[in-house]
Structure 1
Amino acid sequence: MFYWFYRHLEINIFQYISVRAGISFFISFLLTMYLLPKFIAWAKTKNASQPIYEHAPQGHQEKAGTPTMGGIVFIFATIIATLLTAKLNNFYIMGGLLTVILFSLIGIQDDYSKISKNQNSAGLSARVKLIFQFIAGFAVVYLVYSYGHTTSLYTPFYKLPLFDMGLFSIVFWMLVLVAASNAVNLTDGLDGLATVPSLMAFFTLSVIVYISGHAIISSYLLLPNVQLVGELTIMGAAISGSLIAFLWFNSHPAQVFMGDSGSLPIGAFMGYMAIVSKSEILLLLIGFIFVLETVSVILQVGSYKLRQKRVFLMAPIHHHFEKKGWKENKIIVRFWIISFMTNLLALMSLKIR
């Protein structure tokens, strides 16, 4: 809509991505701030709360009764803000919207199975969830591949592509989307733990897509120039605004959880932004906390199956620190600090090439 003002009413300020990104941020923020209290009140009347895992560390049972599926609200706000401010004929915007919608639908189905009458904390089986994620991932990356998006693989600190992945890029990009989606989902175990690292990641990725879409800046920094991808900065700003508003209610002690309906599309959209900006490898640093949580689960499961011994007291790793006696707030803030530092390093890598 705001770009329409520029095209038809000659309000020139709305031609700039930075201006529309700022507007998108505040629309999403205010919409989430308005809707989320109403959603929390409605969810409490419907008893839409996720059952707490019986083996969770001491103290988690106190969170029983906290509404879940708050992700529906901030994903909805993100979509509305994007529709109002972005160019809807831009392929990368449509791909981003498709990504969050598909993965949010998977999360909604998973959350609903948890809060339904059977009160099953497990939700969808891991196999079924993965199948749905790979189907959604394939739909997104096949469109990206068919659009003619470059299939070259880039790495941080090196200005030239390593090699052309060709058709294999479809498989690689699917893995990036699904892995990122599940990594955020695993991290979402403490109040605000996944929210702030996600915010930092989206800020970094929004900077990167803006630079990648700008011919002059990308050339100066020796980054791959991807035409039209800069418009995705607007959607990155929208989801950041909605996440800040969500944090208002999700900070400890949380009034609402995002649920899989929020964590799955957040992770998938991170992966999508990394793919279209040619930052797939850099995503390991941008989302370091999510990588750490995922690796801790892989090590724990692998060690127990091979040696019948555990590496951590409990996985994901944030539960390990809970078992060691760390207070929840201390774990959360320290993980935020780590995320800030790794995102700072990721931004520094843009200049060191």
Structure 2
Amino acid sequence: MIRLLVAAAIAGLISLFGTRSLIRFLRKHAIGQPIRQDGPQGHVSKAGTPTMGGVAIVVGALAGYAISDLYNGIFTRTGLIVMAAIVGAGIVGFVDDWLKVSRERNLGLGKRTKILGLLVVAVGYAVLMIHLTDVRTNLSFTRYDSLDIDLGPWGWGLWAVLLILGTSNAVNLTDGLDSLAAGSSMFAFAAFVVIAFWAFRNQDIYGIPHALDLAIVAAAMVGAAAGFMWWNAAPAQIFMGDTGSLALGTGLAALALATNTHLLLPIIGGLFVMETLSVIIQVFSFRVFGTRVFRMAPVHHHFELAGWPETTVIIRLWIMTGLATAVALGLFYADFVSIGGAD
């Protein structure tokens, strides 16, 4: 338990002060976020706000995890691979962000190039997990044997790649309002702290050898996101950029795969699913029927254009995220009770 607190505290402090230093550096060098021309008009005033704040999130989480294990723990292959995936996705996002600010327009890596970068990270994660860890290759909901569907190494690897690509892009779509993605991710990573620590305390049921180290990774991500949010709260003094959103999304997917909670992830990250579906529905409706379902997609912009103040949209979506997280943890514990784990 102390290691969890150490990881979260160190990650939070480094992210907090690191973000402040980033703001000063980026302002000094006039490095700011270009705003998409077709976005809500209320966002025009945000043009020039420092971006790439996700660097502080990734560095903070990495430091919190590393120092926690040096303090009184042991590095595990599973924990290192999950953290490597987070850093790798952050690097892809950083390149995208840097191209945007250097070109002074909201165009970074091309879609194919960005997907290719994430694909390298996802494939690398899947290959390393299969060959270097004891990860179960079952499709799972709350534990590895909850569905009794074995995908095999190749099937699990393909599923892992799809889950990482989908989740990283879902968080990226959600990152459109101040602290919306960071705050929602905090709920999700907090859920994985509970899940992984519970699995550590009940090894005979969940069969995750490195569960405690995964809880440390999740705790470090909670702390790092919290430190960043101090400066990202509306009105944001800095944006996380793709550096942060891709790292957060990849971290959530990697933890779900490592804790055998693949199908619980869409409930934990219910907001991210809703945001992604709103874009899919909008595109499909316009191309097939020539009409738009939402005023603008992703759906958080729809609420803005409906007249909700930005902070109202953020807080209400946080509430939805908190409820989704509570439901997910409730299902996780209900499954534990149903197999006699509480006896």
Choose 335-344 or 154-163, whichever is displaced more.
154-163
Aligned to 1:58: 41
Choose 88-97 or 317-326, whichever is displaced more.
88-97
Aligned-pair CA distance for 1:92: 1.3
Aligned to 2:239: 257
Structure 1 residues 121, 88: CA separation in 2 closer, same or farther (over 3 Å shift)?
farther
Aligned to 2:340: none
Is 1:125 the counterpart of 2:110 in the alignment? yes
Q: Deviations over 1:39-84 (max 9, x none)?
A: 1011011121110011111210111121000000121111111111
Aligned-pair CA distance for 1:159: 6.4
Aligned to 1:6: none
Is 1:204 the counterpart of 2:191 in the alignment? yes
Q: Deviations over 1:271-297 (max 9, x none)?
A: 000001011100000000001001111
Is 1:76 the counterpart of 2:68 in the alignment? no
Aligned-pair CA distance for 1:331: 0.4
The separation in 1 between residues aligned to 2:178 and 2:159, in whole angstroms, is 32
Give 5+ residue unaligned stretches, structure 2. Answer: 336-343
Q: What is the count of residue pairs matched by the alignment? A: 330
Specify which of 92, 98, 103 is matched with residue 78 of structure 2. Answer: 92
Aligned to 1:185: 172
Runs of 4+ off more than 6 Å: none
Which TM-score applies when normalising by structure 1? 0.90
Aligned-pair CA distance for 1:154: 1.8
Aligned to 1:339: 321
SS in 2 for 1:29: helix
The separation in 2 between residues aligned to 1:321 and 1:305, in whole angstroms, is 22
Report matched runs for 1:277-288 at 5 Å: 277-288=259-270
Aligned-pair CA distance for 1:122: 2.3
The separation in 1 between residues aligned to 2:75 and 2:143, in whole angstroms, is 33
The separation in 1 between residues aligned to 2:74 and 2:86, in whole angstroms, is 15
Give yes or no for contact 2:143–2:260 (8 Å, CA) kept in 1. no
Percent identity over the alignment is: 33
Specify which of 6, 12, 22 is matched with residue 39 of structure 1. Answer: 22
Aligned-pair CA distance for 1:324: 1.1
Report matched runs for 1:98-247 at 5 Å: 98-116=84-102, 118-147=103-132, 148-156=134-142, 160-166=146-152, 167-215=154-202, 219=205, 224-247=206-229
Structure 1 residues 272, 157: CA separation in 2 closer, same or farther (over 3 Å shift)?
closer
Structure 1 residues 255, 286: CA separation in 2 closer, same or farther (over 3 Å shift)?
same
Which TM-score applies when normalising by structure 2? 0.93
Q: Deviations over 1:134-177 (max 9, x none)?
A: 11100011111113411012225996333100021100011111
Q: Which residue identity lines up with residue 205 of structure 1 in the other structure?
A: F
SS in 1 for 2:262: coil
The separation in 1 between residues aligned to 2:310 and 2:258, in whole angstroms, is 36
The separation in 2 between residues aligned to 1:139 and 1:346, in whole angstroms, is 28
Report matched runs for 1:18-37 at 5 Å: 18-37=1-20
Aligned-pair CA distance for 1:32: 1.8
Aligned to 2:339: none
The separation in 1 between residues aligned to 2:307 and 2:264, in whole angstroms, is 33
Give yes or no for contact 1:88–1:94 (8 Å, CA) kept in 2. no
Structure 1 residues 156, 97: CA separation in 2 closer, same or farther (over 3 Å shift)?
closer
Give 5+ residue unaligned stretches, structure 1. Answer: 1-17
The separation in 2 between residues aligned to 1:32 and 1:141, in whole angstroms, is 28
RMSD, matched Cα: 1.5
Aligned-pair CA distance for 1:346: 0.6
Q: Which residue identity lines up with residue 272 of structure 2 in the other structure?
A: F
The separation in 2 between residues aligned to 1:30 and 1:60, in whole angstroms, is 29
The separation in 2 between residues aligned to 1:234 and 1:158, in whole angstroms, is 21
Q: Which residue identity lines up with residue 207 of structure 1 in the other structure?
A: V
Q: Which residue identity lines up with residue 190 of structure 2 in the other structure?
A: F
Is 1:306 the counterpart of 2:288 in the alignment? yes
